Amino acid sequence: MANIEKDNVQIVSYQGRPEAPIDQMQKRKVTRQVERTPSSPSSSMARVIAANTVSNVAVPVPEQVSLEISEDFGDGNDFGDGWGDGGGIGGGGGPTFFGQKVSGGNIVFVIDYSKSMGGRREELMRKELSKSIGELAPETNYQLIFFAGPAWVAGDEVIGKCSGTSKGCEVKHERKTYEYTNSGGFHGWEFKDKIIKPDWIKVSDRNLKKSIEIVNTQKLVTGTVWKLPLHLAIEEMDPKPDTVIFMTDGVAGHDSLEVAEEFADIARKKKITVNAIALMEPKAYEAMKALAEGTGGTFALINSEGEKEELNDRDIRKKEKEKKKEKEKNKDKDDE
């Protein structure tokens, strides 16, 4: 029988005094330094979160750190390339009208829709007015008042002929009919009795779209009278407007300056600013300038290119004289 050798194995045990209560985990200090490459949008997020409080939960720290760039989420630029260009009508920077800043919470556009606005004037007006309306801020209240002989709110129906020989016409506004009388000529129009009281329109994509459509489809009407639309804008709107944008292509009779000064005084007392634009018509220069400057507003003479034109008094007289000669020349040709 083979001899079996036995090893003498000693078992040794040690018992030490605990340094902390048995239910308290000893805090382990781990110091790791990893040379990091510049962060990439698709790289792994930071793995260590530091805090200066003791947690009852132990979080294991992996022994290896992966520095490989993940391709799972593409290569976007964090939040993308921008916020987009908006989904509705409206633009940044605030509205302008032929270069003039349009400001305020309540804005009224008073626009000449007389037949003399035909051709290039009409083209410039419809384009610029559409642009300005589309730029109005969401919190703005606005209204459009058109005028020729009579004055009406955009969207109203002008009934009857408004010629120089016409005795009167009607405007249908919100299911009501308002009458205008004419004492004679293109500048003799007056309210007969009832006067339209325009309501404010709140800016919304739907309202702006409808207003722009009206701007581009409204037909031109005969006559030019300033006092009727200015009365509607300055004296009938409630609450009062902050800014009135008044645009015309010509004078409204021999009393244009008197009318301009009268309404400038009313507007100034109500703290209403009037910005005035004379479209391709230097003859209206003096009266339009008085209307604007009398309220702290701005005046601009716009040429056929849609740009502001600087004119002194001498230039104005020269242009008026040239225009008069051209008119007489064309009249002589018609008589031949």
Give the pLDDT band of residue 332 (cuts 50, 70, 90): low
Q: Are 219 and 211 in contact (CB under 8 A)?
A: no
Task: Name the band, by pLDDT with cuts 50, 70 and 90, for residue 56.
Answer: low
Nearest alpha carbon to residue 129 among 42, 269, 247, 254: 247
Nearest by Cα to 274 from 90, 135, 55, 100: 100
Residue 143 in tokens: 């209204």
Contact 89, 209 (CB under 8 A): yes
Least-confidence region, from 9-18, 125-134, 320-329: 9-18
Report pLDDT digits (tens) over 277-311.
Answer: 999 988 888 899 999 999 999 999 999 999 998 87
Exposed/middle/buried for residue 109 (C-beta within 10 Å: 0-12, 13-18, 19+): buried
DSSP state of 246: E
- DSSP lists the bridge partners of residue 279 as 302
Cα gap 328→154, rounded to integer Å: 36
What is the reported pTM?
A: 0.68
What percentage of the chain carries pLDDT values higher than 70? 68
User: Does pLDDT of 263 surpass 50?
Assistant: yes
Listed range (91-100, 163-172, 234-243, 273-282) with the worst mean pLDDT = 91-100
- Angle between helix axes 205-217 and 120-134 (nearest 10 degrees) is 180
Residues 165-174: pLDDT tens digits?
A: 889 999 999 9
Q: How far apart are the first and last CA of the chain?
A: 155
